[in-house]
Amino acid sequence: MSKTSAQIYVLYTGGTIGMDGRPLAPMPASRLQRLLETMPGFDSSTLTLHPLDDRELRINYVLDAFDEPIDSSAMTPNDWVMIARRILDRYADYDGFVVLHGTDTMAWTTSALAFLLEGLAKPVIVTGSQVPLAQTRTDALRNLVTAMQLAATSGVPEVGLFFDVALYRGCRAAKVSTSAFEGFASPNYPPLATAGITIDVSESLVRLPPPIESSMQRPEHRARVAARLEAIEQALPRFSVLSLVLYPGIQTSNAIEVLLDATEPPVRGLVLQAFGEGNAPSTPSFLEALRRAHDRGVVIVDGTQVVQGSVNVDAYQSASGLEQAGAISGYDMTPEAAQAKLVYLLGLGLSQQEVEVLMQRNLRGELRAESGPTRGLVFAEH
């Protein structure tokens, strides 16, 4: 029997996977570690797997944790930066990374990490569960073990979200069920891998590794990413990014003005979850409110609340009105990806015009746009 081994870093942030009690609450990392050691194949530092190809896979792991594990509904952009920094600081020492996270905001975190970890060349797999690991009938063990195997062996140079049987691109995933084990989906992009008896990676769907000059394999580039994380962390208290779901009968001009005037810190980004292909009420007062917001420096993204499909600002007059008011197309980005991307770009200190250009470019596989993909984009001046 042949043997292979890998080193991975597991970060426990909280979430259902590590909860117990009534009502459910996060358990401390020390208790999660002891629980893991009772699971098949685990000891205090190693997961041993025996795939069907007659080889032993030995995954050496380190379990780290937030000082206080949290429910993901309490996750903030500052926590996104903290997770990214934990990975960056340990990047050279491990073959892959696993983040244990609650399901409620997992799609926001995976989207944010995809942007924050610019030049990623190793797998970062985020997972969780619908049922705690401490319970007998749970999806947690399968999700955790498969995520660890993907981090150790897949070589996928992306942030991925693994759940049930599928590895999704992190900035394409969305939560679709509160009760089914298949709790996530990727409406506008196929899974990067599927896990049955074997794990099959769809290589043609995976992004290429970054060019060496902008790869996190290089210490110089990791230093640049660290500086950007620091800049973003310092910028976060100075701006807000909002999301507004449109609905029939909404008093749209009032809603826009109240949101902008009442929110502190000042609003710099607004994601509209519009109807259909990006349509919205064409009332003059609504469009004028958006125009005034845009003139104040707010980046307005015309997105869709429809689960599958893309914005098409040329299809209906009600969408073209948004464009004339200053809104840009969100194409087929999920609302989670659009909001996380806005936070990332605004946190870099870019101008309104720069953010609007980059929001419409494919930076991490988060959208399909006519402008085509932008690989290895480096913000050398920020």
Q: Are strands 267-274 and 240-245 parallel, antiparallel or unpaired?
A: parallel
CB of 154 within 8 A of CB of 199?
A: yes
How far apart are alpha carbons 12 and 18 in whole angstroms?
Answer: 8
CA distance linking residue 337 with residue 207, whole number of Å: 17
R_g of the chain computed on alpha carbons: 21
Structure tokens at 65: 């944790």
Q: Which long-range contacts (CB under 8 A, 24 or more apart) does 23-27 make?
A: 24/132, 26/69, 26/70, 26/71, 27/69, 27/134
**CB-facing half-sphere around the CA of 217: CA atoms within 13 A:** 11
| Token code pair at residue 219 | 């210490």
32 φ/ψ sector (left φ>0, alpha ψ -120 to 50, else beta)? alpha
Tokens encoding 261: 């005037």
Handedness of CA 149, 152, 155, 159 (dihedral sign): positive
Among 4, 13, 16, 304, the active-site one is 16
Backbone angles phi, psi at 51, to 5 degrees: -60, 170
Residue 16 catalytic?
yes
Four-CA torsion 234, 374, 376, 359, nearest 10 degrees = 10
**Whole-angstrom Cα distance, residue 284 to residue 157?**
46
Q: CB burial class (10 A; 0-12, 13-18, 19+) of residue 180?
A: exposed
Which structure tokens are listed for 375? 């690989």
Amino acid at 284: P
Q: Where are the beta strands (DSSP E) in 275-366?
A: 299-304, 328-329
Catalytic residues: 16
